[in-house]
Structure 1
Amino acid sequence: MYPPIEPFKTGFLKVSDIHNLYYELVGNPQGTPVIFLHGGPGGGCDPKDRCFFNPEKYKIILLDQRGAGKSTPIASLEENTTWDLVKDCEKLREHLEVDKWHVFGGSWGSTLSLAYAQSHPDRVKSLVLRGIFTLRKSELRFFYQEGTSMLFPEAWDDFIAPIPQAERKDMLLAYHAQLNSADEETCAKAAKAWTRWEMWTSKLHVDAAQVAMAENDKFALAFSRIENHYFINEGWMRDGQLLEKQSIDKIRHIPCIIVQGRYDVVCPATTAYDLKKVWPESTLHIVPDAGHSSREPGIAKLLVSATDKFSDF
């Protein structure tokens, strides 16, 4: 990854009567524009996210999505859907007077990248996608009901602990009730448990520092409430919509590089493989010794290689 770098401009974009979105510009003001779409949803951007791009060649645009990061109001679910976020990307592009840009997204960011590109294919120069997630019921079931639970039983015990035994047949629904409880203690406890589960399972080797992020009340609440809100509502999409031929045909002409960890148990490799099958023109790299996180060495190396490849495009 490239060395740490500070933004040359930061700002807020008012996208509705409710939401103000934080954005920052990094790198070369005259460079080729690229937008970084963070995961979660609800995760927000991190300074390290600036470092996937050559700062001499790219004008790097980072956006905290609705309710996430420095955007306000934090953890808000109102007017917060996939299609609101797609419209936000367009509003930001127009605000910054960008004609076309490269789009980079991992995990939920890959979902939003696909949704945006399929909505505005004429505005996308290239796609770099990591840890593919398309919000299918099968993907949600694997991570939140039965699948990853068999690989991380001790972390799963911690995840299900706040939920009464009788409600564990639908963990998304059970968590929805607690994350939106009027009782602040119930809500905070559920938010931390939800966030710990994802942080615990995100790397091939468990990262204690990443797990500790769940103890940040503000981050945990935004991360858990917004994720659960999106998943309960199935992204406001048909099951498998992003992988339908009619959807892929809209973006088939766009150069795309996909980077996927072989042992990703948050967004399993089967989804990246399914995307490659319906979009054979794309390039798929499966990293043999990695999980879900963009920070794992093999994944980070390939992501930087991909952005370097597209930097003069």
Structure 2
Amino acid sequence: MYQDGFVEVTGGRVYYEIYNQDAAGTPVIILHGGPGTSTYSLKGLKALGEDRPVIMYDQLGCGKSDRPTDSSLWNIDRFVEELGQVREALKFDEVHILGHSWGTTLAAAYCLTKPSGVKSVIFSSPCLSAPLWEEDQKRNIAKLPADMQETIRRCEAEGTTDSAEFKEAIAAFSKEFVFRGEPDFEWLKVGAGMRNPEVYQTMWGPSEFTVLGNLKTFDCTSELKEIYCPTLYTCGRYDEATPETTEYYSSVTPNSEFHVFEESAHMPYMEEPEEYLQVIGDFLKKVDEKS
């Protein structure tokens, strides 16, 4: 059974979808990346609904959710509150949480409030420390051709990150560290319409590489030892969320596992979808069987 609709949250309404609503397994809530993108690229994860409900929602400000103009809403505390409001409205007492990219930032911040009923958390291509993310991107940029490195540094320094040459450099970076597959232009076109650049600019900044927004000081690394539920960390071998940093996060998290998708960058759910679904699905089933 499929259901969709809207939930009232602080600041407006968010749009949600539930796949396989009547399944017996513990539901999994998907937290999309961004901030300010949508669940659009993650629709393939509805396949996890073979034996459990799968819940996806567009965070406030993007996708099919309301787009208020109050920029004070774009902060991590309100997004944590929003997740709690979605759970409460949909009456999910027990859940698994799967966050991707910025969704892992949100998942960690939420879990660290010690909510009840979280059976497991999956950090997919995690960003749990803005300073560590910046350091990793410096190393990744250094792997690009020299002219691309120079363009990125110069455009960031001059504030010309909206220029054609910077976009060309971003495309080269993305091909290496974000998505290594062939671009689906229809998907890119629709996905672009789901985005809200203001949310990203406010919270992160004008580029992937240097954090200038209100997440600049976010770093929950020292608190990961407080996440006691079963935890799975995943990333791609060529991920901007690097295997080294992702494995480090896992090493300081009790009861955690770590998996690398060997042929992927930052979007293994699209680059290696069969293996991604297998790894995530097996983890969820294992947790359910033990509980």
Whether contact under 8 Å (1:262, 1:269) holds in the other structure is yes
Q: What is the alpha-carbon distance in structure 2 between the residues aligned to residue 300 and residue 126 of structure 1?
A: 16
Q: Deviations over 1:83-138 (max 9, x none)?
A: 11110111111111221211111211111111111113423111122112114223
Q: What is the alpha-carbon distance in structure 1 between the residues aligned to residue 78 and residue 283 of structure 2?
A: 28
Structure 1 letter corresponding to 2:221: L
Matching of residues 182-193 of structure 1 within 5 Å: none
Structure 1 letter corresponding to 2:198: R
Secondary structure at the counterpart of residue 151 of structure 1 = coil
Q: What is the alpha-carbon distance in structure 2 between the residues aligned to residue 74 and residue 192 of structure 1?
A: 28
Matching of residues 90-169 of structure 1 within 5 Å: 90-143=84-137, 146-153=138-145, 156=148, 160=152, 165=154, 168-169=156-157
The answer to whether structure 1 residue 54 and structure 2 residue 44 are counterparts is no
Q: What is the alpha-carbon distance in structure 2 between the residues aligned to residue 141 and residue 170 of structure 1?
A: 20
Query: Is 68-77 or 198-207 further displaced after alignment?
Result: 198-207
Structure 1 letter corresponding to 2:203: Y
Whether contact under 8 Å (2:96, 2:121) holds in the other structure is yes
The answer to whether structure 1 residue 45 and structure 2 residue 23 are counterparts is no
Unaligned runs of 5+ in 2: 205-211
The answer to whether structure 1 residue 213 and structure 2 residue 193 are counterparts is no
Structure 1 letter corresponding to 2:226: K
Number of equivalent positions: 278
Structure 2 letter corresponding to 1:97: K
Cross-structure match for 2:265: 291
RMSD (CA atoms): 3.5
How far apart are 1:194 and its partner, in Å?
A: 9.5
Structure 2 letter corresponding to 1:84: R
Secondary structure at the counterpart of residue 107 of structure 2 = helix
Structure 2 letter corresponding to 1:42: G
Secondary structure at the counterpart of residue 92 of structure 1 = helix
1:263 to 218, 238, 244: 238
Whether contact under 8 Å (2:33, 2:101) holds in the other structure is yes
Q: What is the alpha-carbon distance in structure 2 between the residues aligned to residue 121 and residue 194 of structure 1?
A: 41
How far apart are 1:156 and its partner, in Å?
A: 4.4
1:235 to 215, 230, 242: 215
Q: Give the structure-1-normalised TM-score.
A: 0.74
Aligned pair in 2 of structure 1 residues 130, 159: CA closer, same or farther (>3 Å)? farther
Whether contact under 8 Å (1:39, 1:106) holds in the other structure is yes
Q: Deviations over 1:55-91 (max 9, x none)?
A: 3x21211111121211111787441111111101111
Secondary structure at the counterpart of residue 309 of structure 1 = helix
Secondary structure at the counterpart of residue 303 of structure 1 = helix
1:250 to 210, 215, 226: 226
Secondary structure at the counterpart of residue 275 of structure 1 = helix
Cross-structure match for 2:62: 68
Q: Which portions of structure 1, spanning 4 or more consecutive aligned residues, are displaced by more than 6 angstroms?
A: 189-195
